[in-house]
Homo-oligomer: A and B are copies of this chain.
Amino acid sequence: MTDNAPVTEHANDLLITRLIPASAHTLFRCWTEPELLKQWFVPRPWTIAHAEMDVRPGGQSLVVMRDPDGNEYPNLGTYLEVVTDQRLVFTDAYGPGWTPADKPFMTAIISFEPEDGQTRYTALARHWTEDARQQHIAMGFEQGWNICADQLQALAATLG
């Protein structure tokens, strides 16, 4: 009960993982500093119109995505666990003050682990239902998250 349970795959999980030639610290910064996150968090030519985040358990994030026609799509999240330079867990299941969301969709576990002088970057999306998982696949989870990981990797290369 006192150890962190290992993150193993569960039936309703989706996952991407890759080795990135950057430090865990740099990747963590790209995930938690709004000005950095804006540069990679959505597949281009979409952009991030606005990003703010209160990175602590119970803190909120607001990321507004903008499509090429200028339509904006706000995404709200709540951080569940923050381990600097190692792990970030967040969900859409809660609004501010732990208010239950109308439709809890997923919980994301982003991890950064040193491996062979690089960083093993893993983005795991856990869903409460198989329907939500299938919906995420249909929304292009694998392609979308991989394009973003490419953009993250390119940005990290400029940060050293």
Contact = CB atoms under 8 A, between A and B. Distances in A.
Centre residue among A2, A57, A59, A107 by max chain B CB count within 10 A? A57
Contacts of A96: 5
Contact of A100 (B53, B100, B127): B127
Interface string A37-54: 000000000000000111
A52 B1 contact: yes
Interface in A1-25: 1-2, 4-8, 10, 12
A149 to B, nearest CB: 21
A126 B104 contact: no
B97 A80 contact: no
Contacts of A2: 54, 59
A20 to B, nearest CB: 23
A4 B78 CA distance: 12
B107 A128 contact: no
B104 A4 contact: no
Interface string A49-83: 00011100111111000000000000000001100
Nearest to A61: B1
Interface of A: 1-2, 4-8, 10, 12, 52-54, 57-62, 80-81, 89, 93-101, 104, 107, 109, 126-128
